[in-house]
Structure 1
Amino acid sequence: MNAFSETLRVTVIAYPAIFVVNAVFWLLIAALVKAFPVKEE
């Protein structure tokens, strides 16, 4: 039962962390795209 509670705790911590990292990642990409606009002719 201890292993289960440990897994649950890690999952509860990891899920928001993954969400935050994903959001920061996309914000970074958006910032880079704005900073260096791609000109397609």
Structure 2
Amino acid sequence: MVLFSDFKQLFYTFIVLSISLKVKLNINQCREILFVYHFLEQMF
């Protein structure tokens, strides 16, 4: 379970980093990242 939660955190961090590297963050994009984060959180 600890490994799984670590994997989840790494997965989310990778997503946020890849998005932030592609585009400069603004308010709308931050909201989009939060939306994706909550969506993925519900899947697990």
Q: TM-score if structure 2 supplies the norm length?
A: 0.51
Unaligned runs of 5+ residues in structure 1 are: 1-13
Unaligned runs of 5+ residues in structure 2 are: 27-44
After TM superposition, where is structure 1 displaced by more than 2 Å over at least 4 residues in a row? none
Q: CA RMSD in A?
A: 1.4
Aligned length in residues: 26
Bigger Rg over Cα? 1
Q: TM-score if structure 1 supplies the norm length?
A: 0.54
Higher relative CO (Cα under 8 Å, sequence separation at least 6) belongs to: 2
